[in-house]
Chain A
């Protein structure tokens, strides 16, 4: 049973916390090591088919061979451009639209229902029709990333605006602020952390969009290679790409989270 009941005095609390934190890191690290060892040695013992699991050392070796090649750089460049373009578009459309919808209650009444319907639907279902509209090249992937990310940006921006502290707005009004003043000096800054949450969630969906889009139909890109090597059952190659993409997703999400915390820390707690 681990629910802490009695808070010990301050000094020993920090000691205990530090112990708990070290213990946490140690156990988590150990868990990953055990997983890697099992992955490495179970196939050797014949418990699982090595052709279907590969081994961590083999994946590492393949990664060292694959990652420096020009081919890999090219795929990364293509997927990267698709992701960044789609993401930039999602931000450029999602934030202004979210700000407008957030400030107008009437507009929200009309827009909310279709917006929620799209939000509740897996946007990746649109992939085949987007391919019909835009072809199998860059444009369709950019559209998929855009559709994956834009609703998170939009809805969070909207929420950020509607959650603005009305006391601040009223105070500014009574000191003679114009609507523009209120918008720029109060609504915009107070919506910023929510916007950043939207961007972070959008990044995750955007990465998924690029990869699924490329896996579904494309001529190049990291997702294309994932599908190609998957169909050829070359698990070590497949895992190099899969893990690389996962790492990219992780790094970008973590980066966005850091910015988010930065944005939140400068303001006093409400």
Chain B
């Protein structure tokens, strides 16, 4: 194994080994089904999934479902980011606002929020608004909590220094605390992205007329496993791409600041 490792330059290792292991999974899957060891009805087959995906793309089904889910995601997550960050800024400025919001934040953190889905259906009806509301609800808490933690974690030395040079309260907030909160804010957004995606999928599974989550549930009722896997793989891709994007953003926001210990 050691010899194998040294064949690949360190920089390329994650990419090379990652691709290898995904390929291995698909090859194993294909062979397991082909040899009759795994039942094709339950597990489908990578080659069949590729054909079904091509067909779904050709007839516009997959692009449409993806479009709907992405729009719902962007609406719910965007709303959560706006509300979460503004609420955190207000709570960071007025400590009493934080105390007022605290019990509700605890609650949404520990409650399985999907249990409130029927309530949203009763209020907003089945479909788009409910999906967006669920997405919002899933994502808003980590964004709020992380931004607030970021504001609170401003370096006390910097605050003291700024104050001794005559900074006003609003200077301290805008020029010290707010920039200091950016890395945690972005970490909150990353957590929020994951939860927002869960919110979209769960709400679509339960009741929708379009979207990738809906299509999984639709094909599930018809026991069409191949088409289910097409949507599943699309969701995996969405998850990976979104997480990578936020990880890149996180690296960026970490990069602009000077290491205080360096």
Contact = CB atoms under 8 A, between A and B. Distances in A.
Interface of A: 1-3, 5-6, 23-24, 27-28, 30-32, 35, 52, 106, 109-114, 116-118, 120-122, 124-129, 131-133, 204, 207-208, 210-212, 215-216, 223, 226-227, 229-231, 233, 235, 238-239, 241-242, 245-246, 249-250, 253-254
Interface residues of B, number: 77
A23 B99 contact: yes
B119 A230 contact: yes
Nearest to A229: B118
Nearest to A123: B198
6 contacts: A6-B160, A124-B198, A227-B118, A230-B119, A235-B122, A245-B111
B249 interface: no
A128 B239 contact: no
B103 A31 contact: yes
Nearest to A210: B112
Contact of B17 (A2, A109, A208): A109
B34 interface: no
A216 B42 contact: no
Given A110-B17, A114-B22, A1 B169 contact: yes
B205 A216 contact: yes
Nearest to B238: A121
B117 A122 contact: no
Contacts of B122: 52, 230, 233, 235
Contact of B42 (A31, A32, A120, A132): A132
Nearest to B199: A122
Which among A111, A113, A227 has the greatest number of chain B C-beta atoms within 10 A?
Answer: A113
B88 interface: no
Interface stretch (B55-63, B75-83, B228-236): B228-236
Which among A6, A121, A226 has the greatest number of chain B C-beta atoms within 10 A?
Answer: A121
Contact of A2 (B93, B112, B229): B93
Interface of B: 1-2, 4-5, 13-14, 17-22, 25, 42, 92-96, 99-104, 106-107, 110-119, 121-123, 152, 154, 156, 159-160, 163, 169-170, 172-173, 177, 194, 197-198, 201-202, 205-206, 213, 216-217, 219-221, 223, 225, 228-229, 231-232, 235-236, 238-240, 242-243
A120 B201 contact: no
Given A27-B100, A111-B21, A246-B111, A3 B177 contact: yes
B226 to A, nearest CB: 11
Main secondary structure of the interface of A (DSSP, over half): helix
A257 to B, nearest CB: 10
Contacts of A241: 115
Contacts of B123: 52
A179 B206 CA distance: 50
A268 B205 CA distance: 47
A122 B202 contact: yes
A212 B112 contact: yes
Contacts of A254: 110
A216 B170 CA distance: 50
A2 B242 CA distance: 35
A246 B21 contact: no
Lowest 5 A-B CB distances belong to which pairs?
A: A230-B118, A128-B220, A113-B18, A246-B111, A27-B99
A120 B93 contact: no
Nearest to B121: A230
B14 A112 contact: yes
Given A120-B242, A129-B232, A238-B118, A208 B112 contact: yes
A249 B106 CA distance: 11
B206 A216 contact: yes
A202 to B, nearest CB: 13
Contacts of A122: 194, 197-198, 201-202, 235, 239
Given A117-B239, A216-B205, A230-B119, A110 B112 contact: no
B1 A106 contact: yes
A124 B201 contact: yes
Contact of A5 (B22, B160, B197): B160
Which among A112, A128, A212, A231 has the greatest number of chain B C-beta atoms within 10 A?
Answer: A128
Given A109-B17, A110-B21, A230-B121, A28 B205 contact: no
B202 A212 contact: yes
A129 B225 contact: yes
B49 to A, nearest CB: 12
B114 to A, nearest CB: 5
A82 to B, nearest CB: 13
A57 to B, nearest CB: 18
